Amino acid sequence: MKNLKPYQLAFLLALPIAFLAALLVLLVDHLPILGIRLFIIWLLLLVASFSLFLVAIERFIYRKIKLIYKSIHHLKLGKELKDSLGEKISEDPLEDVEQEVMEWATTKRKEIDELKKIEQFRREFLSNLSHEFKTPLFSVQGYIQTLIDGAMEDKEVNAKFLDKANKGIERLCSLVNDLDEISKLESGEIKINYSNFDINALSKEVFDSLELKAQQKNIHFAIKKGCDQPFWVHADREKTAQILVNLIENSIKYGKVNGETTVGFYDMAEHILIEVTDDGIGIDESHLARLFERFYRVDKSRSRDEGGTGLGLSIVKHIVEAHGQTIHVRSTVNIGSTFGFTLKKK
């Protein structure tokens, strides 16, 4: 019934009406039921009622539904697309309108769900931002207030407190700088300066720059076996170094004492895949999907003790995406983590 055309619906409505009307005429006129006469009367009444029903459906129902469908169709397409396609609307909206409405409702539901996620992310971001700024601010305020209250006269204490206050200010500066960099990356203000360079050689440079930090936990750096050869990429060398520094620093922070951090390179036809692997504490699978969000920390207390702004991985993701590439992570608790990203091949 739901897929009937207007004329089919009019015929089904007219059929019983015509039969009842013909039967009523015969009963009132007390005429004998003659087959041909009854058929003619019934046929005339059927045609008349069919015409009336069809006109009513077309004019008062079908036309209204078509207008509703047309409005939905235009809203769904958008004005620009509608104008480019012209007024081409389905000739049988009764057949299509339910599907259109369901698709539209599904799309709107998805949009609402996405807006809710964005709102949740905004609330969490503002909460985290407030917390990240309050911690060093209150620390600096406390040290300065103590100095004002009399500790300035004690040379040992004032030097110690000024040093701690300075570290708090440095942390605030790092937060502001990282947030500014993310904002510029998102807006496209920071341009990617492409050049050709050997990613293997760059990785060794980063190893050298982080050697002292690694020695504190006796972590050994290495290029993955079979990968110690030139791998030329076309990317921003400075930004790529920033990616490697961040990922390798994380491998030191969350790596095990006497552990190892390795960097591997893989030729992927048009791209080079770079992987930074450690044998540290690992990350539970439930955290992996949100790992690149701003201020997201797997273990908040431990992460803050290790230092950092909580924005490093978010910056890494933005730099990689600014190159038009992708980054991923896989990890197993107590076994280690691997961060992999691609760069365009020379």
CA 273/CA 228 separation, integer angstroms: 14
- Domain assignment present for 111: no
End-to-end CA distance of the chain: 64
User: Of 131, 166, 187, which marks where a domain is finished?
Assistant: 187
176 and 212 in a single domain? The answer is no
19 and 37 in a single domain? The answer is yes
pLDDT score of 272: 95
203 and 330 in a single domain? The answer is yes
34 and 74 in a single domain? The answer is yes
pLDDT score of 14: 66
- Domain assignment present for 105: no
Question: 232 by DSSP, 3-state: which?
Answer: strand
pLDDT score of 290: 84
Q: Are 337 and 278 in contact (CB under 8 A)?
A: yes
138 and 83 in a single domain? The answer is no
Paired with 271 in beta bridges are: 268, 344
pLDDT score of 214: 93
pLDDT score of 234: 96
132 and 46 in a single domain? The answer is no
pTM of the model: 0.62
Interstrand relation of 336-344 and 271-278 (parallel, antiparallel or unpaired): antiparallel
- Domain assignment present for 19: yes
pLDDT score of 84: 43
Measured CA to CA in angstroms, residue 239 lies from 146, 308, 319 at distances of 41, 18, 7
310 and 214 in a single domain? The answer is yes
226 and 318 in a single domain? The answer is yes
- Domain assignment present for 36: yes
- Domain assignment present for 160: yes
- Domain assignment present for 337: yes
193 backbone φψ class: left, alpha, beta (φ>0; ψ -120 to 50): beta
pLDDT score of 261: 95
Q: What is the CATH number for 308? A: 3.30.565.10
- Which residue's entry shows tokens 């009963």? 27
- Domain assignment present for 280: yes
Residue 254 CB coordination number (10 Å): 21
322 and 182 in a single domain? The answer is no
Write out the residue range of the structural domain in which residue 22 sits: 6-89
How far is CA 336 from its chain centroid?
Answer: 26
250 and 136 in a single domain? The answer is no
pLDDT score of 85: 41
pLDDT score of 90: 53
| Burial class (CB within 10 angstroms; exposed 0-12, middle 13-18, buried 19+) of 60 | exposed
pLDDT score of 240: 95
- Domain assignment present for 96: no
User: Of 141, 171, 187, which marks where a domain is finished?
Assistant: 187
210 and 288 in a single domain? The answer is yes
Helix axes 63-77, 93-148, angle to 10 degrees: 40
Counted domains in the chain: 3
The pair phi, psi for residue 32, each rounded to 5°, is: -65, 145
Dihedral, CA of residue 318, residue 323, residue 326 and residue 328, to nearest 10:
-50
Q: What is the CATH number for 170? A: 1.10.287.130
User: Of 140, 161, 187, which marks where a domain is finished?
Assistant: 187
pLDDT score of 209: 93
Per-10-residue mean pLDDT of the chain, 346 residues long, equals: 59 67 59 57 69 67 65 56 47 60 79 80 72 80 82 77 84 82 79 94 95 93 93 95 94 92 94 94 87 76 56 90 93 92 94
85 and 55 in a single domain? The answer is yes
